[in-house]
Structure 1
Amino acid sequence: MAPVAATKGFGDPKKEPVKPQPAQQQQQAPQQAEPAPAPARRAVVSSTPQVVVDRMFRRILVFTGVPVFTGMALFPLFYYLRVVMDIEYPLWIVYVSQVLTFGGGLFGITYGALSSSWDPTREGSAMGWSEMQANLAILLNSGNRNK
């Protein structure tokens, strides 16, 4: 069996020594056409105003944090009911409650980003239902525009 470092993709790649170019080739090198640089994708990311990014982040924290911390608080509650109060309940209740709370946290990431107002001058509503509908329409229409 080959050692791990000798297998393809692992270990330090062996570099070939750089050969010095003759003076004639060095002069011709700058005249050759250089490939155009790839378009930067940062322009798309940096076009989102910081106010909107902060608004999205706050909403994601709220809509994700509440269900996740509720799910974490249910662990000691179920323990207390079972061990201290000696109440028997089926385990599927624990499983379903954990799936709903932690799944709600996953849903909260998407809803937090979509329910925030993407207009930097407008804050939006508390729950953000109308903003979510408008932003979802923008996302769905942008996919059709690229085809």
Structure 2
Amino acid sequence: MAEQRSPLPFEPKGSGKVAKEPAGAKQEAIPRYVADRMARRVAVFTGLPSLAGMGVFVASYFVVTRDIAEIPPGATLVGSGFFFVLGLVGLSVGVLTASWDKEPGTLLGFENFKPNVQRMRESIRAQKQTKANSKD
């Protein structure tokens, strides 16, 4: 049976039950080597566009203060906004292009995109099914 415990801060109500697992059995949804690979990809696919977004502000300031050209503030805003949005897209791309094999895969990893989207959909379906079964 499940044992009762006090809920953690910000934990949804009714989730204070803890299922006992056999000693030594540790279940991971995402293997550690895949999670590390995802983190590296997210850092690159999000970090580079974010740096570019900040670089737009610096370059714009430099160009305007040196009287090299007149740059409208709206152009600076749109340019930096583009790179920040690209960084947000990079979060998803970084996660969804990571290889789940022991070998790291290719540099960009776009061949892993379709299988990873399928895994995500199956996981969402399984969670909905589990939630529906627990309500019965």
Counterpart for residue 2 of structure 2: 36
4+ residue segments displaced more than 4 Å = none
2: CA distance, partners of 1:134 / 1:49: 16
What amino acid sits opposite 2:54 in the alignment?
A: M
Deviation digits for residues 80-120 of structure 1 (CA, Å, limit 9, x no counterpart): 1111034112222111111111111122122111110122x
> What residue in structure 1 maps to residue 81 of structure 2?
99
2:70 maps to 88
Kindly state the Cα deviation for residue 50 of structure 1 after the two structures are TM-superposed: 1.6
**Unaligned stretches of 5+ in structure 2?**
4-16, 20-25, 130-136
Shift of 1:64: 0.8
Q: Normalised by the size of structure 1, how large is the TM-score?
A: 0.65
Structure with greater Cα Rg: 1
Q: Which residue of 1 aligns with 2:110?
A: 129
Identity %: 31
Number of residue pairs matched? 110
Residue in structure 2 matching 1:144, options 98, 102, 125: 125
Q: TM-score, normalized by length of structure 2?
A: 0.70
C-alpha root-mean-square deviation of aligned residues, in Å?
A: 2.2
1:113 to 82, 95, 98: 95
